[in-house]
């Protein structure tokens, strides 16, 4: 079940329009997030970013699904004329586990998703979701043209 209930979003770090998709933590969550982001970017004339955005959001939502017991996964998108920032939020515990995925050895079968996000994005990072949501973490990435935001 997806949610279209309006919920307050923090101000966008890049300005522009804000969108939110709330997904149950199921195996189909990554596909739904991918379709949401692709549709959103197609409508906002960011078609050149669709492939990279689909890869990145798939990695983040898949990590939330596989590595947490969060009941809901939040996908927030901030879109302006030059850039899009996608944030995936879950109740999955400490950020250290997310950053550990960057250190996968060549022999390991998994653990390269965040490195892929780091290579495709202009910027990416992790954060605690704030005092109003203790235990919730956010992983985000920004795609678009380099340079200052409008």
Structural domains for the chain? 17-100+111-144 (3.30.565.10)
Sheet holding 17-24, edge to edge: 17-24, 72-79, 83-90, 137-144, 123-128
Assign 92 a pLDDT band (cuts: 50, 70, 90).
Answer: confident
Q: Cβ distance 14 to 149 under 8 Å?
A: yes
Where do the DSSP E strands lie in 70-122?
72-79, 83-90
Return the SS3 of 131. coil
Q: What percent of the chain has pLDDT over 90?
A: 53
Residue 37: predicted pLDDT: 97
- Give CA–CA dist 36/86, Å, rounded: 11
- Give CA–CA dist 107/121, Å, rounded: 25
122-136 pLDDT, tens digit each: 999 988 866 766 678
Q: What percent of the chain has pLDDT over 70?
A: 70
Assign 108 a pLDDT band (cuts: 50, 70, 90).
Answer: low
pLDDT at 96 over 50: no
Q: How many CA atoms lie within 13 A of 10 on its CB side?
A: 11
Q: Cβ distance 123 to 111 under 8 Å?
A: no
Q: Cβ distance 50 to 42 under 8 Å?
A: yes
Stretch among 13-22, 54-63, 112-121, 128-137 having the lowest mean pLDDT: 128-137
Helix or strand (DSSP H, E) at 82: none
- Average of per-residue pLDDT across 93-100: 51
Q: Cβ distance 46 to 79 under 8 Å?
A: yes
């Amino acid at each position: 079940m997806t949610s279209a209930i309006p919920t307050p979003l923090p101000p966008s770090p890049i300005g522009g329009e804000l969108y939110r998709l709330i997904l149950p933590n199921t195996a189909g969550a990554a596909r739904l997030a991918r379709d949401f982001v692709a549709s959103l970017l197609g409508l906002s004339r960011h078609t050149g970013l669709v492939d990279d955005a689909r890869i990145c959001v798939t990695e983040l939502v898949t990590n939330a699904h596989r590595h947490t017991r969060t009941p809901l996964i939040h996908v927030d998108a901030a879109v302006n004329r030059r850039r899009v920032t996608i944030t995936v939020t879950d109740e999955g515990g400490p950020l250290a586990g997310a950053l550990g995925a960057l250190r996968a050895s060549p022999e390991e079968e998994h653990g390269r998703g965040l490195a892929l996000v780091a290579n495709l994005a202009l910027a990416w990072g992790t954060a605690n979701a704030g005092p109003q949501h203790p235990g919730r973490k956010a992983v985000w990435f920004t795609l678009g043209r380099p340079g200052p935001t409008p």
